[in-house]
Each structure stands twice: as structure tokens, then as C-alpha cells.
Amino acid sequence: MAKLIINEQKKLGKIHEEIYGHFSEHLGRCIYEGLYVGENSEIPNVNGIRSDVVAALKDMKIPVLRWPGGCFADEYHWKDGIGPKETRKKMINTHWGGVLEDNSFGTHEFMDLCEQLGCKAYINGNVGSGTVQEMSEWVEYMTFDGVSPMADLRRKNGREKPWKVDYFGVGNENWGCGGNMTPEYYGNLYRRYQTYIRDYAGNGSITKICCGPNSADYHWTENVLKTTFDHTPEHLHGFMDGLSLHYYTVPGPWEHKGSATEFDENDWFLTLKKAYFLDELIRKHSTIMDQYDPEKKIGLMVDEWGCWFDVEPGTNPGFLYQQNTMRDALVAGISLNIFNKHCDRVKMANIAQLVNVLQSVILTEGAKMLLTPTYYVFRMYKYHQNAQLLDSSMEIAEIGNEEHKVPAVSESVSMSEDGTIHITLGNLSPSEEQEIEIQFYEQKPAQITGSILTGSMTAHNTFDQPDAVNEQEFTAYSVTDQNTIKLTLPPCSVLHLGVNA
Ligand code: AHR
């Protein structure tokens, strides 16, 4: 028997909705086919954007979307993607699969997508191969309402009013594909480039994100912050609102990461243990950030995370197309619980990537679309968005094998504005059910709603069987005394409970 103790009177801070964010790159079939099929497609669309995908993402309550990359961002020249489509430059996407990039999806199309989704826009700028002028003009093009060369150009291209750019990333992975820079060199570039991300709306509404570390590269964090904070940050007020962190859960070595669907219990525990590493990463990077930003004003933006396996056999290795099983669902559930618990520092997270690439919530094949187990986790967890994190802790044993041990159950708890308490739990055992007693400080659970996702560890949805794994209603709980709920969590499952007094 495991015990979850909740102090519903102790609120620990807001869970920013952006923690439930996503990422879309010009990579494989994410943008083209997955999101954008063109206006002349037989697949139902609005301005070329797939209506089935938009409806599913709205139902999941997507809060923010990052674009155009990824590594693609530091090779992307935004002026190639504006104006009449027939005159847009055609080129090869050398980074991802060597396929034709016709630039038919550019700034206007991305902003339209965000408007259709009702989500915030996170644009990632080009530092690796772009100039300060290019980045500065992009911001002017998108956000300036007055008379200027770029604002006039936007109007000429059919958009009268400026858009709202919520987040702007100054480069991507500049320690690697974004220019192979040292932290000191990038830190100086960051200071310079961010200066020209002008606040045209006059309300400081663009959140500026500095390129942070890969995984456990604490040297990068320390030295980028040392460089950017050198020489009195006060006069650079608003110079940095976020620092990114990239962490992928990769079970094997890079050359053989492992299959997305064919794995054993050892791979299962190894993968989940690697997912838990996120907790250590956030704590350690945050400790370094505390030296420069003790009030935690700068968010740690985990703007790329998720499982990275071998591509599906027979698919283009440069497309990073992989299937998605209950193992991915557990990784998503564990990671989101970790982000929730670190909501004082983690202010955004973007799973990689939205459709058809890495740990996607949606897969498409022609006109067909399926929702992955990861999709259902995001839909079940959506109640945490903008809720208050509650103090909770679990008395629980570890499970696993000799080499790889993980807590048997993952949890986080929040209270939404209407007073509902949201509990999300994951049973990490692929074979054993788990008895759980949930004890509140004072709350008397009167009304409970529940939904569950469960299946064998390799269970997944295919285009022939799109509903093999699906969210089900959960009613197998009992209220034992005034403030305690008892339930049995099936093996390999993710659960959401909504509890009202
Ligand atoms: O998500 C795929 C790639 O992973 C991104 O382009 C890059 O930023 C990271 O290395």
C-alpha cells in the first residue's frame, strides 16, 4: 500500500500553462503533411492547415507552440518564407533528410496556425547563420504597428495588424548545431542580439529566451550566465526572461537508441530512470541560476524534451519518425509531474515534437490521423494548466531491477481556480497493480471524476487500430473515511482524478 499525502491548504505556486507546450520544426513530416497540407489539398483544411489536427490540439488545450526549429532555426532566413508562394525560394533542407523546402509555410502561416489553435507563439530566431539586422527586422515585421519598412512589407503581404509574439528564442543549441560556440562567445552574442528585439508594443510582452545547456552541461549554464550578467545587469533590465534546457530520454547509445515499440522490461526501467533524471537536471541548473537570479525571475524553459528512439523501420532516417507506446505515456506523465513540482523555476516546456517527429501527440498518414498515448496524457493533465501546485508527497517503495530502480508511482497535485483538486498519478510497474491511499489534510472528497490510460507496456495506436490505447472513465475508487480515498492503480497506467469537496 502506498500513501499520497496532500496538504490542500499549502499552495506552492502557479503551474504556468506553458509547461504543457509543444514544438514544431521544419523536420520530416511535422510541418508539411502533419500540420500544413496546402489550400488545394483534399484533406479538410483552413488556409492549408489541417482541420482534424487543429481540433485535436484544441481539445488537448495546447497553450504555446515553438517554431521554426530546432537546428532548422539557425539556418532559417525568414524573408524566404513571406510574399506570394510561387515566388518563395525553393531549397533543400540539408539538415533534415535532404528534401525540398518550398517555404510555403512561413511567418504568416505559423501565426495563422497559432490563431487557429488559440495558443501563444514562440518564435526561435537565427543566431548561428543570421545577422542582428535580420533578427531585428523579423521582430519589426511581426510586431510593429507604425510606419516602417518591415511593417509596410507585412501589410503589403496581407496582414494589416501586427501579431503578438509571446516568446522569442535567441538562437537554438548554439553549443552545437547553432554555431558550435563557446558559452562566453554565445553569451556576448546573446547580449548583442537581444538588444535589438525591440518592444514595439511597449508593454514588455516578448519573453526573451537565452540558449541554455544540453542535459548536464553545467559548464555552459555557469559561463553563459557569468558572461551575460557581467557588467551590471540592471541597465540590461528585461534582457533575459528565460534560459532554455534540452533533455531527451534516449535509452541506448546514439547509433542504436533502441526501438520505439519492441523492448523488454530492462529497457522499460532504463527509460523511466532516464526520464527521472530531469528532476536532478532542473535542480542543479536552477541552483546555478539562483546565484544570478535568486528571485527566480528567469524561467528555465525546457523547450525540447521527450523520448528519442530509432526511426520506424523503412522511414527516412532524417525524418525522426517514431511510434509511441505506453512507455512514452509514462515518460510524459513522469516529466510533467516533475515540471509541475518545479513550477517556481520551470516556466515553459515544449515536448519534441508536435506531429510525426519524435515523441509526438499526433501521427498522420495521408488523410488519416491518430492520437498517441502521449496525447492522452497531455489531455488528462490539462487541468494543471494555470492551477496552483499543492504540497504533496508519496510514501512509496522503489521498483525495477538490480541496475535500474525508479519510484513505483509518480505524482503531482494542484488546485484549479474553481477549487477542484487535480491529482495525476503514474504506475511505473509494467506488471503489478498498486494500492494507493490518498489522504487530504482536511478536504472531504464528495465529488470525484477520474480518467485512466492503461495497456501493456508496448501498447500503441496504429492506423489500422487507432483506438487500441484510449482514455477511459475511472470509477474504481472508494472514499474510506472523511478525508481519504482508496484506489487500485492498474499496472502501466496514468490516472487523473478531479476531487471536489
Ligand atoms: O528535435 C530534433 C532536434 O533535436 C532539434 O532540431 C535540435 O534542437 C535538437 O538537437
Tell me how far apart the alpha carbons of residues 204 and 42 are, in angstroms, rounded to a whole number. Answer: 42
Q: Where are the alpha helices (DSSP H) in 318-449?
A: 326-341, 373-381
Hey, whose CA ends up nearest to atom 5 of ligand 1? Answer: 70
Q: Are 358 and 306 in contact (CB under 8 A)?
A: yes
Q: Are 274 and 321 in contact (CB under 8 A)?
A: no
Hey, whose CA ends up nearest to atom 2 of ligand 1? Answer: 70
| Contacting residues for 383 by C-beta, under 8 A, at least 6 apart | 414, 416, 420, 422, 496, 498
Report DSSP state, residue 490. P
Q: To test ligand 1's pocket by mutation, which of 23, 173, 319, 350 has the most ligand atoms within 8 angstroms of CB?
A: 173
For 251-272, what is the mean pLDDT? 97
Hey, whose CA ends up nearest to atom 7 of ligand 1? Answer: 70
pLDDT in tens, 57-107: 999 999 999 999 999 999 999 999 999 999 999 999 988 999 999 999 999
> What is the grid cell recorded at 307?
523520448
Per-residue confidence (pLDDT) for residue 311, from 0 to 100: 98
Distance of CA 31 from the midpoint of ligand 1 (Å) = 15
Q: What is the pTM of this model?
A: 0.97
Confidence of residue 232 (pLDDT cuts 50, 70, 90): low
Distance of CA 246 from the midpoint of ligand 1 (Å) = 9
Q: Are 142 and 67 in contact (CB under 8 A)?
A: no
pLDDT in tens, 100-144: 999 999 999 999 999 999 999 999 999 999 999 999 999 999 999
Q: What is the dihedral angle through the alpha carbons of 89, 186, 139, 85, rounded to the nearest 10 degrees? A: 10
Q: Are 355 and 54 in contact (CB under 8 A)?
A: no
* Amino acid present at 50: R
Confidence of residue 235 (pLDDT cuts 50, 70, 90): low
Q: Residue 30: CB within 6 Å of ligand 1?
A: no
Confidence of residue 1 (pLDDT cuts 50, 70, 90): confident
Per-residue confidence (pLDDT) for residue 390, from 0 to 100: 98
Tell me the HSE value of 336 on the side-chain side, using a 13 A CA sphere. Answer: 36
81 SS3 class: helix
Please give the full DSSP string across 273-328, using - where no structure is assigned: HHHHHHHHHHHHHHHHHHHH-TT--SEEEEEEEEE--PPPTTS-GGG-----BHHH
Q: Is the pLDDT of residue 16 over 80?
A: yes
* Mean model confidence pLDDT for the chain: 96
Q: Are 356 and 30 in contact (CB under 8 A)?
A: yes
Q: Residue 74: CB within 6 Å of ligand 1?
A: no
For 322-330, what is the mean pLDDT? 98
Q: Residue 450: CB within 6 Å of ligand 1?
A: no
End-to-end CA distance of the chain: 25
Q: To test ligand 1's pocket by mutation, which of 29, 65, 71 has the most ligand atoms within 8 angstroms of CB?
A: 71
Q: Are 307 and 260 in contact (CB under 8 A)?
A: yes
Distance of CA 43 from the midpoint of ligand 1 (Å) = 28
Residue 262 is among the residues annotated as catalytic for this protein: no
Buried b (16+ CB within 10 A) or exposed e, 231-262: eebeeeeebbbbbbbbbbbebbeeeebbbbbe
Residue 304 is among the residues annotated as catalytic for this protein: yes
CB atoms within 10 A of CB 61: 17
Q: Are 302 and 349 in contact (CB under 8 A)?
A: yes
Tell me how far apart the alpha carbons of residues 489 and 501 are, in angstroms, rounded to a whole number. Answer: 22
> What is the grid cell recorded at 338?
516533475
pLDDT in tens, 451-462: 999 999 999 999
Q: Is the pLDDT of residue 38 over 90?
A: yes
> What is the grid cell recorded at 472?
477511459
Per-residue confidence (pLDDT) for residue 233, from 0 to 100: 64
Q: To test ligand 1's pocket by mutation, which of 246, 355, 356, 360 has the most ligand atoms within 8 angstroms of CB?
A: 246
Distance of CA 71 from the midpoint of ligand 1 (Å) = 6
Q: Is the pLDDT of residue 485 over 90?
A: yes
For 469-491, what is the mean pLDDT? 94
For 357-380, what is the mean pLDDT? 98
Confidence of residue 201 (pLDDT cuts 50, 70, 90): confident
Per-residue confidence (pLDDT) for residue 231, from 0 to 100: 80
Per-residue confidence (pLDDT) for residue 204, from 0 to 100: 80
The residue behind cell 494500492 is 435
Per-residue confidence (pLDDT) for residue 84, from 0 to 100: 97
Q: Is the pLDDT of residue 234 over 70?
A: no
Tell me how far apart the alpha carbons of residues 372 and 63 are, in angstroms, rounded to a whole number. Answer: 19
Give percent above pLDDT 70 in the chain: 99
Among residues 75, 137, 304, 471, the one annotated as catalytic is: 304
Q: Residue 31: CB within 6 Å of ligand 1?
A: no
Q: Residue 245: CB within 6 Å of ligand 1?
A: no
Shortest CA distance to 348 belongs to which of 139, 125, 65?
Answer: 65
Shortest CA distance to 344 belongs to which of 13, 10, 18, 8?
Answer: 13
484 SS3 class: strand
pLDDT in tens, 422-459: 999 999 999 999 999 999 998 889 899 999 999 999 99
Q: Is the pLDDT of residue 236 over 70?
A: no
Q: Which atom in ligand 1 lies closest to the alpha carbon of residue 352? A: 1
Q: Is the pLDDT of residue 481 over 80?
A: no
> What is the grid cell recorded at 288?
546555478
Of 253-267, 409-423, 476-490, the range with the lowest mean pLDDT is 476-490
